[in-house]
Structure 1
Amino acid sequence: MSPARGDWVDPTSDDPVVGALSEGVGGPAGPRAARHPWWTPVRVVLAMTAVVMALGMWQKTNCYDDTWQDGNARYTHMCYSDLPYLYTGRGFAELSWPYSDDAQTRARYEVMEYPVGIAYWAYGAAWVTHWLNGSPDIEPRYSQSVGDLSGTAPVLREMRIFVIVNALGFAALTLLAAWLLAGVNRRRPWDAAAFALSPALLLTGLVNWDLVAVVFVAGALWAWRREKPLLTGVLIGLGTAAKLYPLFLLGGILVICLRQRRMRELGLATLGAAAAWVLANAPAYLSGPAEWKVFWTFNSDRGADLGSVWLVVQQAMERTGDPFAFEPHTINVGSWLFFGAWCIGVLVLGLTSPSTPRLAQLGFLVVAGFLVVNKVYSPQYVLWLLPLAVLARPRWRDLIIWQAGEVLYFAAVWWYLGGFLAPASGGDSGFYWAAILIRVACELWLVAMVVRDIWRPRHDPVRAAEWEPQLRTTRSNAVAV
């Protein structure tokens, strides 16, 4: 049952930042404030989401106009996207099945290096693209080199259509995610506004296909809140088929179920996740086992990459004249050891805290630990944390601090790749290293706030109302004594 209109937590009185901003339009809402008959909080959140996604598409306009062919503009205007390049680079211009083991296809194109959920989405978008372009005959394309093919007028047109198809699909997914997040805490639908108005969503939503996984994370949070463990597991499994990180939500469910002795729910969630993941992966694995394995080997074999703390350390040591370089195996072992220790810390925190933490809090902490020490930390990976963060710590001050670090890094990485941050004396850019470290520091600030909320639930905005009666009783007893 949805709460009555008067039962919604009003953000202007609940959040100091929103309350301060509301002074420009009359101040916080009072007890006699009228409710609009149509513009409910959820509808406002959806409208915000639509506007931000539209602005995100507009932000890519400069690159779209020249079909991402200007290698300099994609960095100066910060409008880079993987989508148009992978349309031709992975065979979608010829409607090649991502997991085909056809010798000619594999000789022309690299295997799609993403999990199956993203590969399916991209393949489906390619089919829609060809249909919208009049279903051109692709047979003559086989005789052209991939380089020549990507420069032809029909394929350039398809690249633009492909981006549009994906962008509209992402917009639909994001609207669904916003609706789900607004329904997780029924008395706090406005918490989803931090998701809808996120600058990170605007800037990074079209960089890659990460939003495919985001909607499953939002759905899992919604389903768990409604005590649907099997559905929660299914959504986690489908999300894991698109990106690995939704799997970590099972760690949060483990903590909750151990505390509350809900082993049946844990089993249902785990079973649902495993079954959904296997069924989602089956078509890819059965059609091309070797191609299906590429995602796993690709990530295992890659070295320190953009955004990673490992890259900062490696480049700093090289700059001092030390030829030392982290081997992929060293990074893999170090990352997993750190992540394992981090997960043990989250487990201990969750089991010893005064009250059972919320799934969004635990999920945020686990995913944040994974990203901090990951060998690559692409700018769009902020989307992994976004739905978890806005529910884990629904306070605009802390979310703004975190997002400020993400926006700084978003600008720095493109300027770095464009060569605009290179020092005159040569070598790697110290400013880029600083941007990486500031980004991580801002993320750790939000981690610290969430940890405090778990350890001291009276600081948690979602739990505050539950603790207030106890605090009043404590004060009364103190006065009586």
Structure 2
Amino acid sequence: MLWAARRLLAGVLGAVAVLTLLGFALKNQCAENYAQQRDKALCSNDIQVLYSNRGLAEHRFPYVNGEFVTVTNPDGSTTVDLVGGTLEYPVLTGLFAWFPALFVASDAGYLRLTALLLAPFSFLTALLLAGMVRWRALLYALAPPLVWYSFHNWDLLVVCATVGACHAWWRERWALAGGLLAVGAWLKFWPLLLLAPLALDLLHRGHRRGLVRAVATFVGASVLVNGAFLVASPEGWWAPYAFQQHRAADITSNSVWYWGFEEPVPTDTLNTVVPLLLLLGAAAACGYGWLRASREGVYPFVQVAAAVLTLFMVTNKAHSPQYTLWLLPFFCLLRLRWGWWAAYMAFDLLTYVGLFRWYYALGTPAPDYGLPYQALVLGVWGRAAMLVLLFVVFLRAQPAFGGNTRDGPLPLLPARA
């Protein structure tokens, strides 16, 4: 048993190591000549861009002196921006992004140090998945998006926090689950949506003490993370959310709201429609979970969480390519036919290659973006259709792990006291 566990962990972590190195090689190939090579060589990443554009190069402490501004262009149009060290993400991502900038003097150095700090979170994610679902963790460890996106943005952090919350839920450590969802929420916000299915699960169990612990820890951790920033600079703390509120579904959004309409959908309209769709869809998912629990005796927490995530991804004003990383753990945690995973990986590859090669073609003197454009359109709509289907498929799926007392964690992972 111990030998089998070691072989499993060696296989999973070895696969993550290989794809992580390939991911670093992809982004690092044009680190020193980023502006000229980024889209042509498919090494585009937000890490180097935001190092220069968000005050990280000047070592500005995030949010405290930052603000959201509206800029009037020479042609009379207006654009929105963030200044003074504020990033377009909640405070924990901003703090993580700020720290390595203190030790480098260029965007290339910043990319490399950031990659070094991010990589362990991918290994921890794989380790936690292997503890819950054994060899199915390879659906994460061997996923091509680890190459494209591991160092595209800071999303490995929120993936690790969310998987950690699922692991804590699996081990019935309710306070820890709530705390890790709070960490995820203040990294990239969307794990906040998973608090509702967690609460419904505990309510269905009749575990009121666990429910109070999970919610109280979530609230307490949220206050601890945000409190000092909110007191020091309410405007700086709110700036990321103001930025996202004013963000249009434009050519950079990569969402169905841009690709599905000939005329741009007004931002005010989207700010009403998108939350409404998300609220109705999440309520439907949670309600279906409750009906399923009444039939089967167990609330499908992971299934509902996965479905709510797909809804968030497909309805959001922006659908950045690296969002695929968010979805990978749920392919591991739920029993689906392997074709769902393979199809999504294929559409994601079309999106990644098509998007950045299209961007490259747009910047050439005589743009010819036939194949990149076709790949991008197929990838965008294929991925959107997959998310709609996965919303249903996830809700109907069975978990890939057994009960925490029956199967237990892998021998190399710490047992519950």
Q: Same fold (TM over 0.5)?
A: yes
**Partner Cα separation in structure 1 for residue 373 and residue 115 of structure 2:** 33
1:302-381 map, 5 Å? 302-305=247-250, 306-314=253-261, 317-318=262-263, 325-353=264-292, 354-355=295-296, 356-381=298-323
- Whether the aligned pair in 2 keeps the contact of 1:229 and 1:268 (CA below 8 Å) is yes
What is the distance in 1 between the residues matched to 2:10 and 2:82? 50
Superposed CA RMSD in Å reads 2.7
SS for the counterpart of 2:139 is helix
Is this contact kept in 2: 1:399–1:446, CA < 8 A? Answer: no
Residue 117 in structure 1 maps to residue 92 in structure 2: yes
For 2:384, the equivalent position in structure 1 comes to 440
Residues 170-249 of structure 1: matches in 2 within 5 Å?
A: 170-183=118-131, 185=132, 188-249=133-194
8 Å CA contact retained: 2:361, 2:369: no
- In structure 2, C-alpha distance between the alignment counterparts of 1:217 and 1:272, rounded to whole Å: 15
After superposition, what is the alpha-carbon deviation per residue over 1:18-74, rounded to whole angstroms, capped at 9, x for unaligned?
xxxxxxxxxxxxxxxxx56x84312321121111111100112322242x131xx21
Contact kept, 8 Å, 1:125 with 1:162, in 2: the verdict is: yes
Contact 2:28-2:112 at 8 Å conserved across structures: no
**How far is the alpha carbon of 1:283 from its aligned partner?**
3.1
AA matched with 1:296 = Y
**Mapped partners of 2:374, 2:82: distance in 1:** 40
Which residue identity does 1:362 align to in structure 2?
Answer: V
| Aligned residue runs from structure 1 range 237-316, under 5 A | 237-305=182-250, 306-314=253-261
What is the correspondence of 1:439-458 to structure 2 with a 5 Å cutoff?
439-453=383-397, 457=398
CA contact (8 A) 1:390 1:399 kept: no
Aligned counterpart, 2:325: 383
**Deviation at residue 309 of structure 1 after TM alignment:** 1.0
Which of 78, 81, 84 in structure 1 is aligned with 2:48? 84
Residue 17 of structure 2: aligned partner: 50
Task: Work out which of the residue numbers 28, 31, 55 in structure 2 matches 1:64.
Answer: 31
Decide whether aligned partners of structure 1 residues 430 and 161 sit closer, same or farther in structure 2, where only a CA change above 3 A counts.
closer
Give the direction of change, closer, same or farther, for the CA distance of 1:395–1:425 in structure 2 (3 Å limit). closer
Matched residues, number: 382
% same residue: 29
Mark the runs of 5 or more structure 1 residues left unpaired by the alignment: 6-34, 131-154, 319-324, 465-481
Distance 2:255 2:378 in 1: 12
Whether the 8 Å contact between 2:65 and 2:85 is mirrored in structure 1 is no
Which one is further off, 225-234 or 415-424? 415-424
Match of 1:151 in 2: none
Give the TM-score normalised by structure 1: 0.73
Q: After TM superposition, give the deviation of residue 435 of structure 1 in Å.
A: 2.5
Distance 1:169 1:110, change over 3 A: closer
Amino acid at match of 2:99: G
Higher RCO (CA < 8 A, seq sep 6+): 2
Structure 2 portions without partners, runs of 5+: 68-80, 404-417
In structure 1, the partner of 2:347 is 405
CA contact (8 A) 1:75 1:417 kept: yes
CA distance in 2, matches of 1:258, 1:108: 43
C-alpha displacement of 1:253: 0.9
SS at match of 1:75: coil
Contact 1:92 1:126 in 2 (8 A): yes
Hey, what's the Cα distance between the residues in 2 that align with 1:98 and 1:163?
18
CA contact (8 A) 1:304 1:376 kept: yes
2: CA distance between counterparts of 1:425 and 1:407? 17
